Copies of this chain bind each other. A is one copy, B any other.
Amino acid sequence: MPSLSAKTPVFVPRVTKEYRSGADVFKALGHSSRLLIVDALAHGEQCVAHLTELIGCDISTVSNHLAVLRNVGIVADERRGQQVFYRLAAPCVTKVFACLEELRAARESNR
């Protein structure tokens, strides 16, 4: 009697494309300035000028960082008058910092 049920759950990898686009998302988050931006936006939308003040570098640099985040869908923008407001595009991103904290705790307990 041949058993068709697997004993151990077999891992089926996703297609390469998925890992690549996923990695792009994390690359976008893998910069301290952009992480600061995300942290700020987790508390509500902000215009570019305000974010620039927060980060303390050229506004064109900030605009480029925002483009990186927008290209992977982490943030969304909306023009209102002369200003452009940015906000997080997906709620899950907010939980990111809690996970970072969890990792930090795990790091410390293993010391």
Partner of A39, one of B14, B90, B93, B100: B14
The answer on a CB contact under 8 Å between B8 and A20 is no
Considering the chains assembled together, what is the distance between the CA atoms of A52 and B29 in angstroms?
A: 27
Which chain A residues numbered 1 to 26 have a C-beta less than 8 Å away from chain B? 8-9, 11, 13-14, 16, 19-26
Q: Give the residue of B13, B33, B35, B102 whose beta carbon is less than 8 angstroms from that of A40.
A: B13
- Where the two chains meet, the residues of A that have a C-beta atom closer than 8 Å to any C-beta of B are 8-9, 11, 13-14, 16, 19-27, 29-36, 39-40, 43-44, 54, 72-74, 76, 89-93, 95-100, 102-104, 106-107, 110
Could you list 17 examples of A-B contacts with CB < 8 Å? A8-B44, A11-B40, A13-B39, A14-B36, A19-B33, A19-B39, A24-B30, A25-B103, A26-B35, A27-B27, A29-B30, A73-B104, A76-B110, A90-B102, A91-B102, A92-B95, A92-B102
Given contacts A72-B103, A73-B107, A90-B103, 10 further A-B contacts (CB under 8 A): A13-B54, A19-B33, A22-B97, A27-B27, A27-B30, A76-B110, A89-B110, A90-B106, A92-B99, A96-B99
